[in-house]
Structure 1
Amino acid sequence: MVLLWIFIPCLLLNVYIAEVVTGVVHDLATLEAADSKDITKEDLIKAQEYIDRFYNAVTRSRMLSNPTEQKIKDMQTFFGLKVTGKINKETLQIMRKARCGVPDVQSFSHFPGKLKWEKTSLTYRIVNYTPDITTSEVDYAIAQAFKIWSEVIPLNFRQIYSGEADIMISFGYRDHGDFFPFDGPLGILAHAFAPGNGIGGDTHFDEAETWTLGHQGTNIFLVAVHELGHALGLEHSRYEQAIMYPTLLENSFVDPTKFKLFKDDIDGIQALYGSRRPNMPKPNPSVKPPARPTMKPQPKPPKEPQPKPPKEPQPKPPKEPQPKPPERTSA
């Protein structure tokens, strides 16, 4: 139990789980709503779960008369909301957005101890695939996500297809074997562990989402870039333009070949690994964009010859009597 409390939360910073294990329970009475007419008890329960999960580490060491209020203030500060320490419509609106499962911090930041990979060549393996898109589309999205990071730091990534990789990538439902269950459609989209041995660096996607490379559903490429940032050692950014911002807009779409990291993302990752030297060959994923199957035009069914309508007999015009020529008389 002690090892669980130290090791797992250190990787994912989810001390909410540690509190549940040790029996710490919060009283909803400490959670105040700005307007009780518009906010239900169910809203308050969801809000309590949210701040305990994503902001508990911020106030864990503080001796406060109302730590719940401070967590709400930390959350409101992080997202640029009016800081009241109370639950209001704006705060609930942020809480309802689809997001990453890793807790939030200020600006670009790193996991405790600045965890990072101590080698420059890393392997990754996609253990299983979502049925939402083709396997080649998943391979392409993940390869392009690694390429985004590799373009700015001196790390190279190679996909393997069996055995244990540095970064193991998988799709799973609800309880999927790592003590951090998913919550169904939307809500938490994915999570990743900080660099390290064993589960370190592993990245999990919630199979309850509808994964896509297009406009509809949840864009797997954007979520992969974000989660791999965690797998390389980054925490969340408070800049909405950054890929390491904790929430993702629904139906987000971007061309993976044109995507660029925000300055805060680059500053954060280069603070860990330095920049990619100009003489280093640029990363070039072996996976090419999948060719979507072209729909062959279906031949139209042949037209059956239509029988010609029978000709109706035309009535013959009646013959008019012709006058007989006059008879010749002899003289």
Structure 2
Amino acid sequence: MVQGAIQAMALTAAAVTFIFLKECCLSVPLPKPFIQRHLSSIGLNATNKAAYHYLKRYGYLNVGADVSTTDAQFAEALKVFQQVASLPVTGVLCAKTIERMSQPRCPAPDIYLSDKEQLSSYWASSNLTYSISRYSTSSDPVSIEDAVKKAFRVWEQHSLLRFKQVPSRTANIDIAFVKKMHGDGEPFDGRGGILAHAFFPQYGGSIHFDDDEAWNPGPAKGLDLYAVAAHEIGHSLGLKHSMNSNALMAPFYQSHLSNEIRLHSDDVDALHYLYGSPADETIWPSNKVTDEGSGYFNQQPNSLLNKVDICKNAVLDTITVIGNGSTYAFQGKWYWRLNQLSYDEGYPRRIADDWDGLPDHIDAAVTDKLGNTYFFKEDKYWQYDAEGKAAANNPKNMSSAFPDTPENLDAAMIWAYDQRFYFFKGKFFWQHLTSSERALWPRLIKTISSNFTSKIDAAFTWTNGKNYIFAGPYYYRLSGWRVMKVLPGYPRSTGEWWFGCNDGKSIEEP
């Protein structure tokens, strides 16, 4: 359980709701889509402005009403949205992007930018009760109870949480089918608009469905109560939106054609983060690392006898996965190409022999979504493409491409969850939406783990999509969900798990 680490969390968002933004297969009349509503009133460049309102509303653009948004910021926000929506990531407002913006979705933000917004609350007990205090007028009570019970079971299957229906409104979670103004400050708007909303645990966990809708226990016709209820229960448990479009907690409403909804791994990660897992399910990643030759590296013989013994001092300068999928770790004058269990034959090799112009004793490294790798030392950075070919005019000043980023970094990475740049130095870390945008925060590293009282040495996203932080001879695996935290079962020995240094000890196979 991770409750001890969460007890101080604060919740700021009071309620989350489902809303229809585009006509779909229902026979009922629906309101104009979000984009069309804006198009009717904002005049020139209407589509861009409508998209701007959408991106701002759901957290992709963090700007005030009086702050102009540059074309670059707009394009980067579009890229993040397109990634969340499983669209081609182009940064261009194309027809498919507009169509996706007009689809049914939950209007709670997808991205939370402040510390407090990113945190969520949770129930202190694993045995929770719920009651249906008011039933739907469009479906019989037995069908409603069956659909709701199935929806709760979706969350029971991956946790120690257990839910029991009770007749009293003193239950932990109250469920009601209500209309228009119903006393919680979040009125419904009649058929075809807002479908449902739920409150996070700190605000009571209640779930309300709009009784003006034509609810159906399954996906056959009308609104799929089973699917909507399963999503809303997630919010009632404290989960926010997932950036994985295949997750149940993805922001876009989806009816499930099968008789059983299954949680995506991102939903499970979020659930385990708040409530722990039935057992320690920490599993070492099994994805294979690409080990093919790297085209532009100089593969000269490296027969020096004085190679460093990484097993005696497994403290890294940096580690990264370059654009071709190969994992490289650096220490002093040396570097290693890692595989699933250890490092490849022929390593370590000297940095100066293979990396054109790259200095020794690197501060940090990070590889972006385009496969470009950036190495940092002091106030300079060196850029290499996916095959290790050096960019022209290396090195460059950090201030030219990474504004507000401190010099002499300790580590850098892109967090797999939000695809943003994170830079670490001393007791703090900074966030960038893109490499060229100004830095946000900083925050204290100890908010990630109390083990990080001073500084860390390296950080990166591996080929399995998981993030790792290295501090001294140990490493930590981070949660892949919303708030950056260390998972149970860590730290582990860097030498043993990444370089095969078991010193004769028996360790479990990764």
What TM-score results when the alignment is normalised by the length of structure 2?
A: 0.41
Distance 1:181 1:87 in 2: 32
Distance 1:89 1:71, change over 3 A: same
Q: Residues 77 and 260 from structure 1, CA distance in 2 versus in 1: closer, same or farther, beyond 3 angstroms? A: closer
Q: Which of the residues 101, 106, 110 maps onto 1:100?
A: 106
Structure 2 residue 229 is matched with structure 1 residue 224: yes
Cα drift, residue 89 of structure 1: 2.8
Mark the CA change 1:267 to 1:143 in structure 2 (over 3 Å): closer, same or farther: same
Contact 2:16 2:106 in 1 (8 A): no
Aligned to 2:29: none
Cα distance change on mapping 1:62 and 1:112 into 2, 3 Å: farther
Q: 1:65 aligns with which of 49, 68, 76?
A: 68
Question: C-alpha separation between the residues in 1 aligned to 2:122 and 2:101?
Answer: 30
What is the number of equivalent residue pairs in this alignment? Answer: 241
Which runs of 5 or more structure 1 residues have no equivalent in the other structure? 1-6, 15-26, 35-43, 279-331
TM-score by length of 1: 0.61
Task: Rate the CA distance shift 1:249–1:151 in 2: closer, same or farther, 3 A.
Answer: closer
Confirm or deny: 8 A CA contact 2:156 2:162 kept in the other structure. yes
1:29-70 Cα shifts (integer Å, max 9, x gaps): 797536xxxxxxxxx66x5664454337x6158995228947
Partner SS state of residue 182, structure 2: coil
Offset at residue 124 of structure 1 (A)? 1.1
* Aligned counterpart, 2:268: 266
CA contact (8 A) 1:11 1:200 kept: no
Change in CA separation of 1:222 and 1:60 when aligned onto 2, cut-off 3 Å:
same
Q: Report the Cα distance in structure 2 between the residues aligned to 1:275 and 1:30, rounded to whole angstroms.
A: 52
Q: Which residue of 2 aligns with 1:242?
A: 247
In structure 2, the residue matched to 1:253 is: 257
In 2, distance between residues paired with 1:123 and 1:174? 26
Q: Which has the higher strand share?
A: 2
| Match 1:126 to one of 127, 132, 139 | 132
Residues 1:137 and 2:148 are matched in the alignment: no
1:209 aligned to 2:213?
A: yes
Q: 1:9: how far off?
A: 5.0
Distance 1:145 1:93, change over 3 A: same
> Pick from 251, 276, 279: which aligns with 2:278?
276
Matched, 1:115 2:121: yes
TM-superposed CA distance for 1:111, in Å, is: 6.0
Pair 1:169-2:182 in alignment: no
RMSD between aligned residues: 3.5
SS in 1 for 2:13: helix
Q: Percent identity?
A: 33
Among 151, 157, 164, which residue is 1:158 paired with?
164
CA distance in 2, matches of 1:122, 1:12: 20
Q: How far apart, CA to CA, are the structure 1 residues paired with 2:224 and 2:136?
A: 13
Higher relative contact order (CA 8 A, sep 6+): 1
1:151 Cα deviation after fit = 1.8
* Letter in structure 2 aligned against 1:205: F
CA contact (8 A) 1:96 1:187 kept: no
Match of 1:23 in 2: none
Q: Point out the structure with max Rg over C-alpha.
A: 1
Name the structure with the higher helix share: 1
Q: Distance in 1 between matches of 2:94 and 2:263?
A: 32
Partner AA of 2:272 in structure 1:
Q
Task: Kindly state the Cα deviation for residue 239 of structure 1 after the two structures are TM-superposed.
Answer: 1.9
Name the SS for the 2:176 alignment partner: strand
The 10-residue stretch of structure 1 (122-131 or 157-166) with the greater mean CA deviation from structure 2: 157-166
Q: How far 1:130 sits from its partner (Å)?
A: 1.1
Question: Do structure 1's residue 11 and structure 2's residue 14 form an aligned pair?
Answer: yes
* Map of 2:58 onto structure 1: 54
Q: Is the 8 A contact 1:132 1:211 kept in 2?
A: yes
What is the CA-CA distance between 1:137 and the residue it aligns to? 0.8
Q: 1:124 to 1:222 in 2, by over 3 A?
A: same
Q: How far off its partner does 1:173 sit?
A: 2.7
Q: Which SS does the other structure have where 2:130 is aligned?
A: strand
CA distance in 1, matches of 2:164, 2:231: 18
Q: How far apart, CA to CA, are the structure 1 residues paired with 2:233 and 2:117?
A: 14
